[in-house]
Amino acid sequence: MLAIRELDGSESQVSALRSTAPRFDLPHWDMGQFPVHFRAAISNFGHLLLVASSVVGKKARCLVEMVWWRTCKVSSSVRKFPGEPLDNPLPQRSTNTDLLLDAYRLWKVNALVLLLLIGVSTAFSQDAGHESRHELSEAERAAVINAVVEKVNTYYVYPDVAQRMTKAIRAHQANHEYDNVSGGEELARLLTVHLKAISNDGHLGVDYSATPLKEKAVEEPSAEEIAKFRLSGARNNYGFRKVEKLDGNVGLLQLDSFYPADWINETTSGAMAFLANTDAVIIDLRRNHGFAPDGVLLIESYFFKDETHITDQIDRDANKTRQYWTMPTVPGPSLAGKDLYILTSHDTFSAGEDFAYNLQAQGRAKIVGENTGGGAHGTKPYRLSDHFTASIPFSYSKNPIIHTDWEGVGIEPDVIVPADQTLLAAHILALRTSLKRRADEPERTSALERIIAEKEQQLAALKSNTSSK
């Protein structure tokens, strides 16, 4: 498997990246469904990023996304872990975009390899009925358990939690709870349950593949496969599901994924140009399950006038803290002066939460909806044996203003309403704010009051229908 490399901003590393990074374009992965065999997993990775309602889908998305965090988001400084003085500053934050593009070329290979690994594990586990059952020997079972203990203790983001988890695994082992487990899927399930019982970490887990995992990295896809990936991305419009103008001149953008910034530049610019003449903007993330954090940064950047320190990422294994900033300029019009409302649900996850959390902490947006899924940790896959891998979180986020993240608890909205009522609730809030600002425009005020009354009636009817069910 290809090594995941770090960017520290040094001239030698940047030069090396420019000269060695792959020059092909990978598409986005659409993740509508997992394939049933490995060939389909390779040729249809465009279907791997929409399975957000399932545990496996979230885990797969998280793995790809967190590799993106490690290789693609470029810091303006690098800090020793935890909280040591800054060192190795980058030349200027204005160079972040160039470095980001260079890092992206490296990430494309890393992410593809991770997806192929996930595809091997998931595709064959789903098609287990057509595979010969692999019975675990006592030695194999013990080796997997030992590997889990070793990897978790070494890499899990919080060392104290890692020790408690591995102590619990050893206790289950001493109680002979794994002795009669001969199936790989069942052992993976039990280990995952026991790890999560201590950590409550949705990204942590053990996976099993009926077919032996390859030692070496998977070969790069063919030009034909790449073209299929890109076509899948275009057909999904890179997660931009809807953009429209609501009554009262309020803009709405439904965004179901965050794709890499250079893939969505034109689509983002067009959407923001459409919203530029509205009085307020609502971004609907109720079905957003994340993916590419630099896509988050790109869209966040439209809502800030100046470069803004958005978040930090602390890596245990890299022994570093990275600072992330919004971009100094964006293609097309800025929406920095617009009132912003973000819709969330229990399904909003990972990078979708990152977007909402950062803008809420900056006081730049109001969150309307439900508490979110609670996935903030960076995660990587680790090989345990020929048939087992573990997804182990290695990093956590820290907001520079409130010094916390949303891991395990989700994001609490400013206005808590059920998911099916969020759009109407946010629309009414936006209209009321607009009304206050236009007190000296009688005709406009009258029109807004009429629209608010209509929307309040619609919301009351929706609440009534919900309560009667």
Where are the domains positioned within the chain? 11-131+227-231, 237-376+396-424, 438-469
What is the Cα–Cα distance from 72 to 67, expressed in whole angstroms?
8
Which structure tokens are listed for 177?
């709870």
Radius of gyration of the chain (CA): 23
What is the Cα–Cα distance from 32 to 30, expressed in whole angstroms?
6
Counting beta carbons within 10 angstroms of the beta carbon of residue 184, is it exposed (0 to 12), middle (13 to 18) or buried (19 or more)? buried
Asked if the peptide bond before residue 331 counts as cis, ω within 30 degrees of 0, the response is no
What is the Cα–Cα distance from 235 to 218, expressed in whole angstroms?
26
Altogether, the residues listed in the chain come to a count of 469
What is the Cα–Cα distance from 416 to 399, expressed in whole angstroms?
22
Closest C-alpha among 304, 298, 299 to residue 254: 299
What is the Cα–Cα distance from 222 to 421, expressed in whole angstroms?
46
Four-residue CA torsion sign, 153, 157, 159, 165: negative
Which structure tokens are listed for 280?
């307020």
pTM: 0.68
Which structure tokens are listed for 154?
């070494």
Instruction: List the chain pLDDT tens, one digit each, 469 residues.
Output: 323 333 444 444 434 433 333 333 333 333 333 333 333 333 333 333 333 333 344 444 444 444 444 443 333 333 333 333 333 333 344 444 444 444 444 444 444 444 444 444 444 444 444 445 678 999 999 999 999 999 999 999 999 999 999 999 999 999 999 999 999 999 999 999 999 999 999 889 999 998 888 664 433 446 786 678 667 877 899 999 999 999 999 999 999 999 888 889 999 999 999 999 999 999 999 999 888 888 999 999 999 999 999 999 898 877 788 899 999 999 999 999 999 999 999 999 989 999 999 999 999 999 999 999 998 988 888 999 999 999 999 999 999 999 999 998 999 999 999 999 999 999 999 999 999 998 889 999 999 999 999 999 999 999 998 877 7
Number of Cβ within a 10 Å radius of residue 437: 13
Which structure tokens are listed for 199?
């950590």
What is the Cα–Cα distance from 371 to 30, expressed in whole angstroms?
25
Instruction: Check: CB of residue 239 under 8 Å from CB of residue 267.
Output: no
Residue 215 has a pLDDT of 62
For 237-376+396-424, which CATH superfamily applies?
2-enoyl-CoA Hydratase; Chain A, domain 1 (3.90.226.10)
Helix, strand, or coil (residue 223):
helix
DSSP 32: S
Long-range contacts of 186-194 (CB under 8 A, 24+ apart): 187/136, 187/141, 187/144, 187/388, 188/388, 191/144, 191/145, 191/148, 194/165, 194/168, 194/169
Owner of token pair 């954090």: 293
